[in-house]
Amino acid sequence: MEALVAVMIGVLTATGVYLLLRARTFAVLLGLTLLSYAVNLFLVASGRLVLASAPLTDQGLETYPDPLPQALVLTAIVIGFGMTALLVVLALRGLRESGDDHVDGDRRGVEDRKP
């Protein structure tokens, strides 16, 4: 089980980093999403993996999962979701303004319109 989770986190992180290094905003966005999945799994695992037990705790139970990482992960998921949504909107906006989905915008030189 540990090996499986570790490999999953590793694969997600590696894929995420690879996509992050691409030049198009959509690939970068997917990369960030995969990276945040990896982070969330990692946070759950930081409370140790406990199999076949109560989800939180129960009377007379010897081993039970650590509840704190679960709370952390919930917060991280919510924040990551909001941030990804913002980035989607921003990427679309960039596409519309510069007519190009390259992360650097249109490289033929964009002048800011006068305020």
Partner 1 sequence: MSHLPILPVLLPLVAGALLLLMSGVGEGVRRSVGLVATVALLPLAVALLMRVADGTHLVYTLGGWPPPFGIVLVVDRLAASMVLLTAVVALASHVYAGDGQDLDGPQFQPLFQFQLMGINGAFLTGDLFNLFVFFEVLLIAFYALLLHGLGPRRVGAAIHVVVLNLIGSSLFLFAVGTLYGVTGTLNLADLGRVMPTLDPGAAALARSGALLLLVVFALKAALLPLGFWLPRAYGAAAASCAALFALLTKVGVYAILRVYALCFGPDGGPVADVALPWVLPAALATLAFGALGALGSRGLREAAGWLVVYSVGTLLVAVGLFSEAGYAAAVYYTAHSTLSGAVLFLVVDLIGRQRAAAGDRLDVADAMPHAAVLGTLFFLAAIAVAGLPPLSGFAGKVMVLEASGGAGKAPWVWPVVLGATLLVLVALSRAGSAVFWRTSDAGAGRATALPGRGIAAAAGLLACIVGLVAWGGSATSWAQATARQLAEPEQYRHAVLGPASQDRDLHRSLR
Binding site for partner 1 (CB under 8 A): 20, 25, 28, 32, 35-36, 38-40, 42-43, 45-48, 66, 68-69, 72, 75-76, 79-80, 82-84, 86-87, 90-91, 93-94, 97-98, 103-106, 110-115
For 99, list phi and psi in degrees, rounded to 5. Answer: 65, 25
Closest residue by Cα to residue 36 from 95, 64, 78: 78
User: CB of 38: closest distance to partner 1 in angstroms?
Assistant: 8
CB of 14 or CB of 93, closer to partner 1: 93
Say whether 58 sits in a helix, a strand or coil. Answer: coil
